[in-house]
Every structure is written in structure tokens, then in C-alpha cells.
Amino acid sequence: MKNTQKIGVIFILFVAIYACSTKKDTIISRNYHALTTKYNVLFNGKQAFKEGIDGINEGYKDDYFEILPIEPVAFEEDKIVMPKFNNGPGAGFGSNNDDNDNKAATPFEKSEEKAVKAIQLHKMNIDGIERNSQMDEAYLLLGKDRYYSQRFIPAIEAFNYVITNYPNASLIAETKIWRAKTNVRLDNEEFAIESLKLLLQIRDTLEADLPDVTKEKGHTALAMAYTKADSIQKVKKHLHLATRTLNDKYQSARNLFILGQIYASENKKDSANMVFRRLANFKKAPYKYKIHARIEIAKNTEKDSSLVTLIADMRKLIKDRDNRPFLDELYYQVGFLHEKNDSTKQAIAYYNSSLRAKNGGDKQKTYTYEKLGNIYFKQDAYQKASSYYDSVLQVTNDTLNIRIRRIKRKYKNLASLIKFEDVVTENDSIIKIASLSKEEQTTFFENYIAKIKKADEDAAQLRLNQIAFGNVNNGLGVADKGNWYFYNNQSLSFGKTEFQKVWGDRKLEDNWRWAAKATIGGAVKGSAQVSTTNLKYDLDTYLSAIPTEQVVIDSLVTDRNQALYELGLIYKEQFKNQNLAKQRLERVASLNPNKELILPINWHLYQIYNNLGDTDNTEKHKNVILTKYPETKFAQIILNPDIQFEQEEIEETEIEKTYKEIYYIYKEDKFEEVITKIDEVLPTIPNADLMPKFELLKAFAIGKFQDKEAYKTALEFVAVNYGNTEEGKKAKAIVTQLTK
């Protein structure tokens, strides 16, 4: 009996050893290795691969302000990735190595290890024919893992191995699609397009039709290739074909969204909304695509009666707790719809809600800040607009973006405007206070001190109340909720410090708020040697700062008037706001400005009123120029409008060439010839940016051989007419020096 058992055990061991051999082509060997490969090694590899794909789908951060990439994965250019485990050369041959130092770090590396293990342990290549039916699966998995590890050449080796050695495999079409995708990543999109056309078009006509899942993958890969080849119409075509059936919920939803974005970028709003509605109604689609599809529908809606309905729908989405991760985008979109519906106040409210939403993205914030800046800019609230444009520049990291550069230029233009507005506001207030009597000045500042003291007391009390309820964390630790304020040492210490900042040291007695009760080190204030006066509340501090010397006051007036004049120029020339320009220039004209400002003020007001069609005021300022400044070039232009040049454009390169030629003549001291040539060329370049340069060069030439007055007149023309250019500022500085 014992011998029989021994024989049975030996027989079983023999069969097992025989079955484990990869050199024997038997039914037992083939089935053993196929089953072991499929349900052990490859099963674990495919699970790891699925984990990696799920991580990409869930973790990839899409920029919904741009057309999404078809494949949600970011590959680094020129990156070379070395494997962290020893899998040998080529398609996975080599010895197995379980060293801990080579342990896989990512799901794709883990999956690749399993694919390599399946090939190394279970490959049955006998007489040039692979007997293990699972080897094509192993090589395909190996290639896909290498693709996501950004090792494209080894990936193609694995795909080619399948295509060459398993031409009749059921997964051959999928393998060709993956090889084409890999070639797209290697900038071989032409080869990818030809191979996919051969697979999808010729095979469909000659052989049995491909499965829908395979067709989806093939047309998606073709769309990727045509995206790389910048053929947008072909991209649309294949995205349409890829979305006829929706088997892969992730990729199908993404394809629909991209197709809608392309239509929107072509201003085909109806087609875009049709695609987005289909996506919104696609039950299996990931929720992030569905919610963004609804946002895109709202974005593409024209200004009509449907706006009210859309706003109501978007507000319902905002109330849904599931949409909290998208609140910044939803609030922004409702604000956009209100702005389109001319409800500016509502738009501002929702834009601000978008900025306050938790987890808001930086790019979303840049668009929201820009929208708010544009609203205030249109309302002529330039200081508010500037602060929002500044916020855009603070939040963004994409300083090379065309939109950001445009905002930066706008912000710089506003910076000088705000500087001059601040000068006007500050100097106006100082001049006004300086003109008051001593009693009026005292009353004014007493009221001001009382106001700020009350505000400080209220703020301090609020701070103490917050500490008492454990709501403040000022670097001292949050007070324990549920504990009484006076039991919390940190809160108590902080509150005491805050109290002393406002009230100083006080005895616990009646009327402790009186200023006379303040003490230092327990002594009465009157006996203290050190003053505890808070300059913020000290009347003498303010009164002593008021200028009394007439020279100082006159300087403030001059600076204020100059700032008003500069504001008039900026509003007129840079922002094309004729009304604000008119207000600033009229005001400075009424303030008895320095005589050198009278001519330019009247010239600019003449132009503004002429553009506005105000005949009476046009004549008024025209008469001032003709009566008081008849010899100036401005008077000549008014009397002879034809010398304002014919409206003919010239290429900038030709103008630059002409300027250089005339400048070389100037360097040769041929000043009269310079003036003649400039007079000849000026009528032909009214819109050129180089015109101020020609005028300044002409003024310099006049200064070289004519008298000081002629030189000054020529410079004044440049300073007035081109005051916001570098040449205008330079001319103005020279005139100032000549006047001294």
C-alpha cells in the first residue's frame, strides 16, 4: 500500500514537472501555461494597468478654457525614462530579478513587471511557433505599459512583435491602433494615419466588420494623428465616427466634449450645443464632463429670451451639493449670463462669488478678475479696474499668454493715470484744508480723530469677542471651543495685549476710559516722564502737517494742475474717453494754470469739442488760439486744414528706412536739408508710429541754425501733440529747461 502511494506521488510530480516544461508541445503543457498566464500573471498585470488608467482619468487636470487633448495624459518632451527593474533587452527577454531596489513604483511599472514575468516564465516558442495562446496578450500589455511610461521605442518593439508573430490574433487590430498612437507620440503621424486608414477603411470593405469598440479606438487614434497634423476638419470627422457608438464611457465622453469645443471655436454655436446636449444626456459619462457640457451650453447661448431660463438652470446647479467642486465655474458662468443680459450689478455679485468659492482654480480666477476689471473699465472706474488687472497678474503664471500680455499693457497704461488721479485727490484735499481758518481746521480734525477712534474701538471689541468664542487664530493657536474665555491662557494674553494697544495701562476704577486715567507702570499719567500720546489720535500732529508757506501751497497747486493736464491727455489719447478728457482739461483751464499750459489746453479742447460736434465750444477755443497764438503751428493748422496731411498709409519698413536716411543727413550737419525732407515726407505718414520721431528730429534741426524762440516753438508743438510718447516727454523736458 505504501509503495502504491509513493508511486502515485512520484507520478503526479512527474506529470507536474512535465507540464511545467516550456519545451514540450503537449496539451497539458499548453493548457497549463496558458491558464497560469491568463489567470495568474496577466490577471494581476491587467489589474495594475486598469489602476493606472483609472488614476489618469481621475487625476488629470483639464484646462476647460482650452480645447482638451484627446488623450488625458501629459508626456514630457525629450524625457528618457529608464526602467526600475531588469527586464532585459528588446521585447522582454532576460533574467528575472526580484531585488527590492528594482521594485515597481507605479501601476504601469507593476503591470510591466507582470507582463515580463509572463513572457519569461511561460513563453512556449517551439519550432518557430508560439504554443502559448496568451503570449500576444502579454506582449500587447507590455507595449501599453511602456507607452504610458513614455518609453515609446520599446513599446513599438513589443507591438511589432505581436503584429509579426501573431498576424491572426484576435487582438491584432487593437495592437495596430496602439502602435499608431505610439508613432503619433514620436511625431510619425503620417505613418500612423496610413496604417490606421488601412486598418479601418480597407479591412471594413474586404473582411468581416471590426467590433464597435475597436472602431471607436481607431477613429480616436486617427483624430489624435490629425490633431498633430493640424487638420481640424479631419479631426472633426473622426471624432464624429468615434462617437457613433459610446462603448468606452471615459473616452467617448471626452471625444464628445472636444468635438463640441471645436465647433464652438469655429463659432458654430448650434452644432456645438447639439453635441454638448448629447453629452449632458449620456448617462454613463463621467460627471465632470456632463457638468462642463452644461456650462459650455450656457457659454454658447446668444442674448435672447433663453438667457433667463439658463440662469435659473445654472442656479439650480449651484444649489446642488454635488456641484461644490465646480462652484467657481458655475458662479462665473451665471455672472457671464447676467453681464450678457445687461444686469451688471448681478454679474459683479456672481463674479465675486466665483472668486470666494473654495478650491477655485487660478486660471478661473484670472478670467474672473479680468471680467470685473473690464466692467469697471467700461464704467470709467479706472482705479478699480486697475486693481483687478493687477490681481490677474498676481494670480497667473502664464506670462507669455497673449491675453495676459494684453492685460499687462492695459495695467501699465492705467498705472500712470492712477498716479495722476492720486496727485489730484491728495493735493486738492491739502489745498482745501490749508485754505480753512484755524478754527475750521481744528474742528475738521477733531471730527476726523473721533471717527477713527470709534472705528478702532469697534474693531478691537470685535476682535476680543472673536477670541472669546474661539474663532481667532493669529499664530497663537485657536481657543478651545467650549471653554470659557478667561480659562484660556492664550486667548486671555492676546486679549490683554489688544486692550493695551487701544487703551494703554488703566486702573480698575470708575471712569477708566478717561484719558487722564491712563498710567505707566502704575503711576498717574500726569506724573509720568514718558509721553503715551498716540500720534494717530493727536490733534497737533495733524495741524502741524498743514502747509502754511505760500511757496509750498503754490507748488501743490502747480503739481495738481499739471496732473489734471496729463490726465486730460491720457483720457483723450490712450483711452479715447472724450468726456473725461474734457472734464479734466476744462477744470485745469478754470484754475489759472501756468501760461505754458494755456495753448495746449485750448488746442486739445478744440479737438475734443470738434469731435463731439459742439460748435460753440469749438469756436471758443479756436478763437483763443487764433487771437493769442496766431504765429503757432496750431493756428496754421486751424486756418489751413489741408496741411493735416492726406490719409495715406506707408509700410513701416519704408518709413524706418526714410527716417534713417534723414537722420544720417542730420549727423552730417545739413540741417536745412533735414527740415525740407521731413516736410516732404510728413504728409505721407499720418498714422505712423514714427511721426513723433520725425517731428522731434525736425525740432532739433531748427534749433541748430535758428534762434531760441523758433527752437522752443518747434519743441512745444511736439510736446503738445505727442505728449504721451517718449519724444513728447523729451521735448517737454527741453522746453522746461529753456524756460528757466
pLDDT given at position 717: 84
Share of the chain above pLDDT 70, in %: 77
What is the band of 22 on the pLDDT scale with cuts at 50, 70, 90? Answer: low
Mean pLDDT of 579-588: 92
Domain chopping of the chain, boundaries: 1-169, 438-545, 652-739
Determine which helix (DSSP H) or strand (DSSP E) holds 194, and give its type and residue range. Answer: helix 189-197
Q: Are 721 and 599 in contact (CB under 8 A)?
A: no
**Mean pLDDT computed over every residue of the chain:** 81
Mean pLDDT of 537-545: 87
Alpha-carbon distance 257 to 454, whole Å?
57
pLDDT in tens, 128-181: 566 567 788 888 999 999 999 999 999 999 999 989 888 888 889 999 999 999
Cell triple for 113: 513587471
Neighbours of 346 (CB within 10 A): 16
pLDDT given at position 472: 47
pLDDT given at position 679: 79
User: Which of 301, 249, 306 shows the shortest CA–CA distance to 279?
Assistant: 249
User: Which of 466, 507, 462 shows the shortest CA–CA distance to 485?
Assistant: 466
User: Which of 285, 228, 295, 205 shows the shortest CA–CA distance to 251?
Assistant: 285
Those residues with Cβ within 8 angstroms of residue 529's Cβ, 6 or more apart along the chain or in another chain: none
Alpha-carbon distance 66 to 471, whole Å?
41
Mean pLDDT of 38-55: 86
Neighbours of 345 (CB within 10 A): 9
pLDDT in tens, 67-94: 999 998 888 765 555 544 444 434 444 4
Question: Per this entry, what is the length of the chain?
Answer: 740
Scan for cell 527740415, then name that residue: 675
| 520: β partners | 523
Cell triple for 581: 478728457
Helices and strands in the chain: count of H runs, count of E runs: 33, 5
pLDDT given at position 278: 95
Q: Are 407 and 392 in contact (CB under 8 A)?
A: yes
Cell triple for 345: 450689478
In degrees rounded to 5, what are phi and psi of residue 523?
A: -90, 150
Higher pLDDT, 198 or 481: 198
Determine which helix (DSSP H) or strand (DSSP E) holds 130, and give its type and residue range. Answer: strand 129-130
Helices 362-378 and 382-395 meet at what angle, rounded to 10? 170
pLDDT given at position 479: 43
3-class SS of residue 169? coil
- Would you say residue 564 has pLDDT above 60? yes
Q: Are 261 and 241 in contact (CB under 8 A)?
A: no
Strands (E), 440-527: 505-506, 518-520, 523-524
| 129: β partners | 126
CATH of 652-739, picked from 3.30.2390.10, 3.30.930.10, 1.25.40.10, 3.30.420.40, is 1.25.40.10
Cell triple for 626: 487764433
For the whole model, what pTM was predicted? 0.69
Q: Are 468 and 491 in contact (CB under 8 A)?
A: yes
pLDDT given at position 494: 61
Alpha-carbon distance 311 to 350, whole Å?
11
Alpha-carbon distance 71 to 525, whole Å?
76
pLDDT given at position 239: 96
Higher pLDDT, 13 or 216: 216
